[in-house]
Structure 1
Amino acid sequence: MSKRAVLEVIALGVEDAVAAQAGGADRLELVTDMAADGLTPPVETFAGIRAAVDIDLRVMLRPAGGFAVGDHLERLVRTAREMRDAGADAFVLGFLDADGGVDLPAVERVVGELDGCRWTFHRAIDRAADRDALRKQLDGMPGLDTYLTAGSAGGVDAGLPTLVAEAARSGEAGYEQQLLVGGGLRLDHVPQLRAAGIDAFHIGGAARPDGWGRPVSAEAVASWRAVVDAAR
């Protein structure tokens, strides 16, 4: 029997987290400021959500919009340390340099604060000049177990062929990590992705039928849970 696929939901606060867990989410990505596509939440937000739910949490480490760390590295390192001190044990991060390559020094510096915790390299991969080169450079990085990707900066519609091709390379050097698909993901994409062997899905706006100004809907999450579980 195949293992249950992962359904990850973006949570901005406790109300989101409780609804997502009630709807059947396996994991939460904790962020703030979706106008900037998700930045690091306050430590207090993490603590409140951690106290409210018992599913896995991954905390975003992203100091500003875009995918360059810029002048924020030292602050981000301090924030990572604060999150670890507060009990966070899984994270989301990813930085590119001006040429669209992975900013390896920045990634290594932040990951060095995570004590081997599991982490996701997020959709910066969809803006990379060379996805394969990025994966090879990050191969063996402590704790890296997931890539959050739409396969394309334009979203899953444009990225489907890339996602299917990368899933087929699972187990190769640089491709051992789980593919977590998100970014313009729709329910009708799920059967094709599941058929390709992809078993992790990430939703944000899709969990909020009334828009980002309203909390996560447990019913919306439950509808995704049902489709993800049925498409095996």
Structure 2
Amino acid sequence: MLELACFTASSALTAARAGASRIELCASYTSGGVTPLLSTLHSIRDELQRSSPSTATIPGAPTAEHGQIPIYIMIRPRGGDFSYTPTEFEAMKSSIDGFQAIGDGAVQGFVFGILTADARVDGPRCRELVELAAPLPCTFHRAVDGVADEDLEGAVQTIVECGFESVLTSGGAGSAREGVERVAGLQKKYGERITLILGGGVRSSNVVGLKREAGVRWVHSAAITGPGEEVDEAEARRMVALLQHV
């Protein structure tokens, strides 16, 4: 399964055409992804409703209501670190409320991650957001790769206990290639309790080998191959095609 990070409405539509399994909708690639505008989601939904009712081409890929590609929303009030002030935390809660209010299956899940000032998973705050988002599932994003190296397993354990459906990680490394062995270890230990999503520099040139080595079902990519923040449709299609045989 391929999740594509999309930073614009046009990229989300490209991801749907290419046959991605899911969209992680964000804004601001240069900031590493922040909460998108409600208007961006409305634009995507309107266009998808005018297009084919079924966009996913990977066998067994999940679909949202109306047969459209599922969209998970990034909840991150700013770039930079993942330790948030009380005001920023309230903004995160307001964002979840705002996207949930759209209804009609427009949002299928949320993506966020909060760390404490000493770089540990902030269990109480994360649990509060997971409960607020319910019944929609949540992914803990690559903030997990910012915890102390020796604390990665403990971080995943806390994420499991908070009720997250999945965790996006490069295994605590700068890239999936560097951390794939640790992800494989996490998959063996936690794979029956949480979905591990491998991310960090995943492209068509390495996706098959990385997925096999990690033993995960899901991989994550931005599929950006040039300047800017747009999904490269040809690259996305290559990954979709390759993953059909893994």
> When the two structures are superposed, what TM-score results if normalisation uses the length of structure 1?
0.87
Output the aligned Cα RMSD: 1.8
Q: Give the SS at the match of 1:147.
A: strand
CA distance change for structure 1 residues 79 and 183 in 2, over 3 Å: closer, same or farther?
A: same
Q: Is the 8 A contact 1:29 1:58 kept in 2?
A: yes
Structure 2 CA distance for aligned equivalents of residues 98 and 153 of structure 1: 20
DSSP 3-state at the match of 1:91: strand
Q: Please, which runs of 5 or more residues in structure 1 have no aligned partner?
A: 1-5
In the alignment, the residues of structure 1 paired with residue 27 and residue 117 of structure 2 have an alpha-carbon distance, to the nearest angstrom, of 25
Which of these residues, 92, 104, 115, is aligned with residue 134 of structure 2? 115
Asked whether the 8 Å contact 1:69–1:106 carries over to 2, the reply is no
Q: Which is worse superposed, 217-226 or 194-203? A: 194-203
Deviation at 1:37, TM superposition (A): 0.2
Q: 2:157 — aligned with what?
A: 136
Q: Which residue of 1 aligns with 2:165?
A: 145
Correspondence for 2:216 among 170, 194, 198: 198
Cα pair distance change 1:208/1:139, threshold 3 Å: closer
Q: Is the 8 A contact 2:140 2:167 kept in 1?
A: yes
| Alignment gaps of 5+ in structure 2 | 49-67
Q: Which residue of 2 aligns with 1:89?
A: 108
Residues 7 and 33, structure 2, Cα contact 8 Å, conserved in 1: no
Number of aligned residue pairs: give it: 219
**1:51 Cα offset (Å):** 2.9
Alpha-carbon distance between aligned partners in 2 of 1:170 and 1:20, rounded to the nearest angstrom: 29
Q: Does 1:178 align with 2:192?
A: no
The answer (yes or no) to whether the contact 1:164–1:193 under 8 Å persists in 2 is no
Residue 110 of structure 1 aligns with an amino acid whose one-letter code is L
User: TM-score, normalising length from structure 2?
Assistant: 0.82
Q: CA deviation at 1:149?
A: 0.7
The one-character-per-residue Cα deviations of 1:47-93 (angstroms, maximum 9, x if unpaired) are 22233332010000011122112240111111110111013230001
Identity across the alignment (%): 28
| Aligned position for 2:71 | 57
Match of 2:84 in 1: 69
**Is the contact between residue 187 and residue 216 of structure 2 (CA under 8 Å) also seen in structure 1?**
yes
SS at match of 2:166: strand
Partner Cα distance (1:123, 1:199) in 2:
17
The residue that corresponds to 1:8 in the other structure is 3
Contact 2:126 2:162 in 1 (8 A): no
Report how far residue 28 of structure 1 moved.
0.4
